[in-house]
Structure 1
């Protein structure tokens, strides 16, 4: 890495500094960050490029900080944040190919629909969500998209939203930014910080072991991460922790298989097992006893009913870092609602900003998912750095809706950051790689997390869903 750091007060680092401050990081470390600015990257009406650069930059800096601390280095390694690498990574699920086949992204019933008074967007990629959507609309299980369109055209958007959510499905009515700001959930989201963090009630007694010697700096080497997350931000975070050397074990309920292409995209470096948390609690407790990090991506309250709230986990293990992710936040009337990036864009007014109320648009990437994922990984890494210093863990919470609020209201327009022209962006090819493994020949995005002496690839390609045992890798 030859790029030299720039003044941390430079406009191009302003949003990285904001993200780093939200994570509780030492502002002096920003001098270790060197952005590579490129034009024509993640172009949008909202400052998506700046958000993406900031989230990746803060994550890479958190990794460098932890690596330096565990390796006994006086200074953190230099961090490079290349807009090209960031833009490619933010489109990883779209750029993936499996044996030359393009990925399947959105199912036929996951789309925009005209209603009697506006627009609604649904999400039905998973079979159980599709079934609930059709039941809410009183349609047969084999109903076509034309059937759904005809039924929705007769109903008001808010009525559809309420009926589908009431049936356990996913549908969100289009709102303007002003309508979201006046909404009770929008108000609740705006009142919370971008990254919520707190130490556990009890004091811990376990720090972090020094890193073993080696030619590659792996800040998370020797650490164990339980990944209880799905779609897409949580798996992006844990994919990043796997890159940095963690033993990441993803656990899924046996009856909820992951979408194959999504699993391939986010499964690099991880292992995948199935476990019924309702009946296999002894096996889970054995895993938890040796875990360093637990990442959850289920609706607030879903794991609490199983006795796995953040408070319950850290009461048993004060040295644990618990990272919780949700769509709408752990507060407000929508706190227990399901949600995905595309739906959060609809509710928060992003879709009208990127288009119009008459013809809604979308961000150039699922930036809320990816951005929140890198912030979540950064929060975990910073929590581990604090554990190394204090001996106790952290509870951190993030939400897609709060990241959306930062994008729309917390980041200055991109024009103010341009300065001198950036380098050219000629497409993603320079940041793609090919890997052959048990899922086939994968063309995939490289990780944008780059620092001097750090890893350049994952230790292994994705494994088949549920193919691993529910146990940690043997040490050594």
Structure 2
């Protein structure tokens, strides 16, 4: 029954991606366990991994007509949402800034996101200088949640007041997200025939992916694709760092920096984009357009481009340009309030992992692979849009009781990791085994994780 829940959800997701009601390949679900949540996180994570693998099986079938069976391990898929790397003799930096977290206001709860220095500065500007949460708590308690959220957001920061699921469904942005499809797809004019070999062992070898994504969904997508042999080049602006994430999400990628306000760097970016097969980006709606690289410009620079983009709060409505992260969307969409109510606790109870990010990341990877298949079949490029808020709707509407049948997934075991250590600049560590495989394909990464900005902004062989 538990495996059938995942298979059925995979079929549903694949139909939303492709319009095809049946899966192209057989799907086996192995492993056991569920992450501790009041929502079916593990089944949806597993199904999102599976749909990306199903899209790959279809892509490979375009070469010789045969489809490879897909196997997904629900335990490993869940563990990858925690951290994929176990350091040996060193420690990963903290995932959260010291000021980030949930705070009680005069009339409810709010979450402040301060991981980026600029966002931390906004909170200090609005609430006053503080070194820790204890200093901020009494100041936040004097505010009403909506007024503080507005003050932080208008100042360029990141905050989310806690709504119930019902309140979000009645909110203008919740209503907007409620009518958006999970995958918003459009096609572009045909271009030259691609020349990818579609080798079963390394299916995406020769595919160039320009990665303009940050914490966490987009990097999860491109990490997944790098494991299939794609040449992933991540571009970050100068001054942007993700110390708590780099060792986890840069696996298999080259990481460079460019300043898209600098003419010379813009020229370099345009050359890279012109040679790219895929672009994956997570800038807020309209941000690339303001830089001169809107959808039409991207297609002009790279005809046939497979373009997959992510937004936090959806692509329509008044919040389409609002800054957002997984933890903030969980507060807005009612997930944290639902956990609080179901647990009987007196504070927000979010998901046990940043599940919206990881689920959306695998769905983005599926969209890339489906776009590559479209390119092979019709030579057309495509653009696909996803959002964390729409993924949240998918999760909250997924009404199945799976966890009761499964043991809780807590810490990883020794046999969950590859027996061969990964040597990074930070030190050696063990990487989790891949959560998915095809009959003739294993996910493996040719490059260890590396710091942001550690490579030149040029295409290099993986």
Q: Evaluate the alpha carbon distance shift between residue 189 and residue 343 of structure 1 in structure 2; reply closer, same or farther with a 3 A threshold.
A: same
* Corresponding residue of 2:255: 272
> Is there any run of 5+ residues in structure 1 with no aligned partner, and where?
1-5
Superposed displacement of residue 67, structure 1: 2.9
* Corresponding residue of 2:347: 359
Q: 1:113 aligns with which of 103, 108, 124?
A: 103
Matched, 1:458 2:445: yes
Helix, strand or coil for the counterpart of 1:464?
coil
Q: 1:123 aligns with which of 108, 113, 121?
A: 113
Superposed displacement of residue 25, structure 1: 5.9
Cα distance in 2 between the residues matched to 1:208 and 1:184: 46
1:264-309, Cα deviation, whole Å (9 max, x unpaired): 1000000000001121111011111110000111111111111112
Q: 2:29 aligns with which of 35, 39, 48?
A: 35
Superposed displacement of residue 449, structure 1: 3.0
Matched, 1:205 2:201: no
Matched, 1:134 2:127: no
Counting matched residue pairs gives 454
Q: 1:88 aligns with which of 55, 79, 94?
A: 79
Superposed displacement of residue 193, structure 1: 0.5
1:66-89, Cα deviation, whole Å (9 max, x unpaired): 2333xx232221110111111111
Q: Evaluate the alpha carbon distance shift between residue 20 and residue 208 of structure 1 in structure 2; reply closer, same or farther with a 3 A threshold.
A: farther
Cα distance in 2 between the residues matched to 1:400 and 1:65: 26
* Corresponding residue of 1:3: none
Q: Evaluate the alpha carbon distance shift between residue 49 and residue 254 of structure 1 in structure 2; reply closer, same or farther with a 3 A threshold.
A: same
* Corresponding residue of 1:371: 359
**What TM-score, normalized to structure 2?**
0.93
1:214-250, Cα deviation, whole Å (9 max, x unpaired): xx62221101000000000000000111111110000
Larger CA deviation: 441-450 vs 52-61: 441-450
Q: 2:291 aligns with which of 303, 306, 328?
A: 306
Superposed displacement of residue 474, structure 1: 5.1
Contact kept? 1:17, 1:30, Cα under 8 Å:
no
Cα distance in 2 between the residues matched to 1:11 and 1:149: 43
* Corresponding residue of 2:54: 61
Q: Evaluate the alpha carbon distance shift between residue 332 and residue 99 of structure 1 in structure 2; reply closer, same or farther with a 3 A threshold.
A: farther
> Is there any run of 5+ residues in structure 2 with no aligned partner, and where?
none
Cα distance in 1 between the residues matched to 2:277 and 2:89: 36
Helix, strand or coil for the counterpart of 1:151?
helix
Aligned CA-pair RMSD = 2.3
Contact kept? 1:124, 1:130, Cα under 8 Å:
yes
Helix, strand or coil for the counterpart of 1:76?
coil
